Amino acid sequence: MQPSAPLVRRDSVKSVQSQGVAATFDETFQSERAALARLAHLLTGSRAIGEEILQEAFISLHRRWDEVDNPAAYVRTTVINLARSAQRRRRLERRHAASLLPNLSLPPEIDETWRLIQRLPVNQRAVIVLRFYEDRSLMQIADDLGIPLGTAKSLLHRALLRLKEEVQ
């Protein structure tokens, strides 16, 4: 029986321009995984879904490794986009489940603030998580979400107003 080929080519090297060093896929995975797992968890509210999203993002990066100029930015954007899709899918599932089982109630979250954040629209929630949990600048948030800087500012402002109204 012949051993299977490794999933990752260890000799594949790509220049990471933002850091000015050469990095392999493995190095990129090791350096970005923890922060992106946290980001995916915060965006989805589920550790399991966050891990699935992270796996899908790194698989996508691996498939396009030779085409990607900035692997860290690519995988971060992929995580954000996949989390948005998961939230949309979850919202549709809840809406459908509510129509089938109107008395179904979900257990309350422990953290009241997180419960309020989860009520925000997907884009507002993404901006809040990126700004306050990931400590990203507004310019970085706009870049991560693929939106203009003014839109990122507006989303953050509206999200904070909505949270303030909910708290009072």
3-40, pLDDT tens digit by residue? 443 444 434 444 444 444 447 899 999 999 999 999 99
Average pLDDT over residues 97-112: 52
Average pLDDT over residues 43-62: 93
DSSP category for residue 130: I
Q: Report helix angle 47-63 to 25-44, nearest 10.
A: 150
pTM as predicted: 0.56
108-137, pLDDT tens digit by residue? 444 677 778 888 898 999 999 899 888 999
What is the domain partition of the chain in residue ranges?
A: 15-105, 107-168
Q: What would be the CATH architecture of the domain defined by 107-168?
A: Orthogonal Bundle (1.10)
Q: Is the pLDDT of residue 75 over 60?
A: yes
